[in-house]
Amino acid sequence: MATSGTDLRTVGDRVDGLLTELRALTDASVSSKTEEVVRLLVELYGGALERVLEVVAEQPSGLDTIDRLAEDELVASLMILHGLHPLAVEERVHRALEGVRPYLGSHAGGVELLGVDDAGVAHLRLQGSCDGCASSTVTVKLAIEKAINAAAPELTGIDVEGVAEPAAAGPALLQIKPLHRAETPPEPMPDWVGLTGVAGLADGELTVVRVQGVQVLVCASGGRLYAYRDACAACGSGLASGALAGERLACPGCGVEFDVRLAGRSRTSPGLHLDPLPLLDDGGGTVRVALPARVAS
């Protein structure tokens, strides 16, 4: 469930930016009073929200109503900001991972939450990995980061064990940058774009959707959807007219076969793989795909 699309984090970042500008333009006393006004306003609406939830909880179906409110992205963000969310951070992370688990299963084999430490860092472990797939790290990172960032923005960071680094020369540990604001601007998150006409694909069917100028191949295998950039890793041909049998996708141009469930790894030419794109399917007809900057450019 979503609201009008208000991004609370963006609003908070804008407030921080304005306060920084005011500090540079005014004397210390004015800056201090401005910050106090902002703090008092936040406390005011936070206290009001807490009282609203108390009143709702007193009703016969109050707890169910609060749970429904927590499903709204904007309301949930405000609940988290004021420590009022009905679910603990671990439970929210668990639910977020369940939402992306079908996608992660095709790239990493599974994901386990080890816990959240006292510093607010969530520790995850991936079982299995996409060995030899140069894009596995970025696709897994994007899916995990997006889901957890939305569900638990108060986390300070995420440690993911067991991710195969492209051309790795060190330990298999992926450090996802802290989710809270840092002194340096964060890297822009990719856009998750809704796809139309793909939710009803049956096993063995393929289709190509143009998303932000990129040809995206969507295929159905084993009851799941997988997305790739529409280009054969061997010859560069489009794959929309290729043959998909089970998990095997054969390029119509050169005949090289790729495994769509293993991040597009070639089954006939070692070292080749398709370019996978993170895809989220909520099971209710909404399918979204993320385009990393290197793909969208």
Q: What is the pLDDT of residue 104?
A: 56
CATH of domain 192-296: 2.102.10.10
Confidence of residue 138 (pLDDT cuts 50, 70, 90): low
Does the predicted TM-score (pTM) go above 0.75?
A: no
- The strands making up 279-281's β-sheet, listed across from edge to edge, are 192-195, 287-290, 279-281
CA distance 236 to 126: 31
Q: What is the pLDDT of residue 217?
A: 92
Fold adopted by 89-176? GMP Synthetase; Chain A, domain 3 (3.30.300)
CA distance 34 to 45: 17
Q: What are the backbone angles phi and psi of residue 221, rounded to the nearest 5°?
A: -150, 130
Residue whose structure tokens are 């208000």: 6
Q: What is the mean pLDDT of residues 183-193?
A: 53
Distance of CA 167 to the CA centre of its chain: 24
CB atoms within 10 A of CB 9: 15
Q: What is the mean pLDDT of residues 201-206?
A: 90
* Segments of 109-213 assigned E as strands: 111-116, 121-126, 157-161, 173-176, 192-195, 206-211
- Domain limits of the chain? 8-81, 89-176, 192-296
- Flag whether pLDDT at 37 surpasses 60: yes
Q: What is the mean pLDDT of residues 77-85?
A: 76
Confidence of residue 153 (pLDDT cuts 50, 70, 90): confident
**Window from 111-115, 160-164, 245-249, 280-284 with minimum mean pLDDT:** 160-164
